[in-house]
Chains A and B, each alone.
Chain A
């Protein structure tokens, strides 16, 4: 009894923190999504499901599809690059220096880093100037899906590398030797023993990439085009231009639901394959 009570005391601050900063805002968003749109923006406190009428809109469904497609592709590419990179760093003599390099981009503002991509890929950017100097046709690199995916991969790569690095650092490489010794080819040894053992790192890296990618706003806004608008952009438009708050809240709710489903599925997958109690 006493233990239980002291447990409550210890967990009170974090419970309060989470309630105030995460649960309450989410609930407010959900509540707003079921209210009636005010004439000059804002909401009227009358129950309504009008906010959810966008399901009939083909444009909206296309944006949902865009969002999921871009996020999935960016996440897969990010994790595929992050695994060998983290492996290299974890086994390198210079790992402290390399980790430092991974963290360096955080010193610069996120938006400025996106703008620097515009400077690189833009129609009058560095890359196109180079192509023209070489006598080649300039190419439209920017304001399309490709650019959104590329910049997303760039932006989320450190978030994927760091959890993978910490998982790989704990990995006992004698296990690879053992697998090789027992008849596994190099490839098999990595897929059958290395990957399963760093899975918690892979799951974390996937979550850390996919969740912010789903909620992307700045990247598609700055380097995306008509084909690559994401839910974040629509929410912003409904909130600030159309001033349809219930609709913005409803789309946010849908986005939250997609995210939660994804987390639940991934963490269940993680648990299913985890060996016994550790």
Chain B
């Protein structure tokens, strides 16, 4: 039986004295669609190339299933990679590109033909079999790379920013296709990306990395709704931060006094005591804005006054940036409004420089850090 679980055990790596991976440990489950998410230079690609066998670890071990693969060369590992540039063989036809791993294994031609045709079928490229990679579009090249990597039946497929060379629309399409292929073959996918949207939409779990460290591992909704710290909250989507001193605690809720926003009610996601300095995050899409004071205000709602400073219309939603507090030019508060009907007011009726109310349910904020 296939064992496509990966165990990363205190891996560290330095290049020219710069630590790019700092004692990283985590596990990837068999069959999981696991994303490693982070900005450039966070070490995500180094880690992926280390799993593939192209980079040696300075310390620590990597296990595939029960086997220690730390010192195996790339050709001896039961993992295959989709490269960022696809790295198709330009001197071979699409058919021969996909047949390449099987030819190395010296399978007979009938077997090779059967397998290659099956995988060409899977990535819908049967009629392009005799073309060369220079004659294909970006999406097609990508699919050749997928077929070529899967024909070896690896336990794990590594994907190194595979969608970065495609345009936005195609990227969306390939993402769905990757998800379908993952379901079809059922092996572990390790997907490295800097695009939080990509990671959120397809992953079973995500590891967020920064400066060679893993900041948080969790499901997309855990990472989005309960970020481990301000960096994760800010990296995964846009967010508002509120800092202040805890002044009162009442059952499940606490109150903080913020210099910018005044008294704010929040849910106690973490242990705090009166006097602590804390940092809250509120996702803009959970914030309502309204020109008139809402008729039904809950006891748990926070309400602030502000002025629309900037509006960005982007089709399916509008982004509003509101100056809140007494000082003009103070921190902007952002609120995103989807253009659907469940809001009290149409987004179109709110204009630049309008005085508005900013409202959110105190349960929708998340207590990030106790400082």
Give the interface of B toward A (CB within 8 A). Answer: 52-54, 73-75, 79-81, 83-85, 87-93, 100-101, 104-105, 131-132, 134-135, 148-149, 152
Contact = CB atoms under 8 A, between A and B. Distances in A.
Contacts of A188: 104
Given A172-B87, A174-B87, A275-B93, A182 B152 contact: yes
A274 B90 CA distance: 9
A183 B83 contact: no
Given A183-B104, A276-B134, A177 B83 contact: yes
Interface of A: 172, 174-175, 177-186, 188, 192-193, 196-197, 199, 273-278
Contacts of A278: 132, 134
A61 B183 CA distance: 71
Nearest to A175: B87
B89 A276 contact: no
A196 B75 contact: no
A181 B75 CA distance: 5
Given A188-B104, A197-B91, A275-B90, A178 B132 contact: no
Contacts of B53: 180-181
Contacts of A199: 91
B85 A276 contact: no
Contacts of B135: 276-277
Contacts of B80: 181-182
Contacts of A275: 90-93, 132, 134
Contacts of A196: 89, 91
Nearest to A186: B73
Given A181-B52, A182-B101, A197 B90 contact: yes
A92 to B, nearest CB: 16
B188 to A, nearest CB: 16
Contacts of B87: 172, 174-175, 177-178
B269 to A, nearest CB: 43
Given A197-B90, A275-B93, A180 B74 contact: yes
Contacts of B79: 181
Contacts of B89: 175, 178-179, 193, 196-197
Contacts of B85: 172, 174
Contacts of B88: 175, 178
Nearest to A195: B91
B74, B85, B93, B131: residue with the most chain A Cβ atoms closer than 10 Å: B74
Given A172-B85, A177-B81, A275-B90, 14 more contacts: A172-B87, A174-B83, A174-B84, A175-B89, A175-B90, A177-B74, A178-B87, A178-B89, A178-B148, A180-B54, A183-B101, A188-B104, A199-B91, A275-B92
B83 A184 contact: no
B90 A181 contact: no
A63 to B, nearest CB: 39
A179, A186, A188, A199: residue with the most chain B Cβ atoms closer than 10 Å: A179
